[in-house]
Amino acid sequence: MRIQVEAHADDGGVTPRNLCWNERRVGIVDIIDRWYGPDYRYVKVKGDDAGVYILRCDEIRNEWALIMFVSTRGQALSQALATQAAC
């Protein structure tokens, strides 16, 4: 899914600051991880809504895409299921 990302250039390339999708604006509060694919840059971030997002940047086309999103509710459910499975 294509999204709008407000970013700034730094020593590591392009760092997202805000993302907009489904008419929502989410501030980026933490960069969790970054990695490179053959043609893309990937960034895993935490939003000010406590959601976790994986973003893909096509630097040649200057386009961003939302690859994965996990809400706080989804994170809590995943942790609860993992705890039950361990018991």
**pLDDT for res 39:** 83
**pLDDT for res 10:** 73
**pLDDT for res 59:** 81
Output the six-digit token pair for 70. 């996990």
The 10s digit of each residue's pLDDT in 42-55 is 999 999 999 999 99
**pLDDT for res 2:** 86
Q: Confidence band (pLDDT; 50, 70, 90) for 8?
A: confident
